[in-house]
Amino acid sequence: MNGVAIKAIVFDTFGTVMDWRKSIVADFRSFGERSGLDVDWEAFVDEWKTAYRPGMDAVRMGKWPWTRVDRIYRVKLDEMLPKYGLGGLSEEQKVYLNRVWHRLRPWPDSVAGLGRLKQRYVIAPLSNSDLDCLVNMTKHALLPWDVILCAELFRHYKPDPEICLGAIALLNVHPSALMLVAAHNYDLRAARTHGMRTAFVRRPTEYGPSQKTDLEPEEDWDIVADDFAVLASALGC
């Protein structure tokens, strides 16, 4: 790495900090048991998640006006429910399911690693998620963020350049004093374009046991680590 000292570290959140798939499957399975519903929740969650990238990209390409992630998932949820025999859910139940992103659990190493990094650096999520979702998730999972940064502040979704440039401006740091940590190569490519430092953390089961993408770093990122404990050590914490 070059000579400028790192001051702040921003994190892709869903997949990098939070184990969203396992959290949601467990949450929905519990909901199904309470409600007497027999559903293949893994298939349900995998199909639901497919709405994410096309929704973001519709906003990024100007096909949709600014649309919150909460809305993108709700549209897909409403579309899917009948197919899974869930067309009769109440509005209250639908809101409960759609807000599962507020109740996610972190990977086992996330909170302890962030706590170590916070001692020396400013730490923040840099997520496509809505601000209120990140706030509620942070309280629920006891994440020790110093500040919350997200797409909604800039009204642009990753990998639009406004996200990294906005974080650099708000944190008021030189680009190379800011590091992005992500389990996704595409996130890191965008960060490097803007002169930021990069750390790849392997999360080989983010998409379940048969994940095919992002198993390995695709460029020579500044740090490659298997978890946040290794990351914290590599950053002198």
Closer CB to a second copy, 136 or 185, in the complex: 136
Closer CB to a second copy, 145 or 221, in the complex: 145
Residue with tokens 């950053």: 235
Closer CB to a second copy, 75 or 147, in the complex: 147
Q: How far is the CB of 145 from a second copy (least distance, A)?
A: 8
Distance CA 120, CA 8 (A): 9
Closer CB to a second copy, 29 or 118, in the complex: 118
Distance CA 67, CA 48 (A): 17
Q: How far is the CB of 215 from a second copy (least distance, A)?
A: 33
Concatenating the DSSP letter of every residue in 98-144 gives HGGGGG--B-TTHHHHHHHHHTTSEEEEEESS-HHHHHHHHHHHT--
Residue 1, SS3 per DSSP: coil
Q: How far is the CB of 138 from a second copy (least distance, A)?
A: 7
- Where do contacts with a second copy occur on this chain (CB under 8 A)? 122, 130-132, 134-136, 138-139, 146-148, 152-153, 170-173
Is residue 39 within 8 A of residue 84, CB to CB? The reply is yes
Q: How far is the CB of 171 from a second copy (least distance, A)?
A: 6
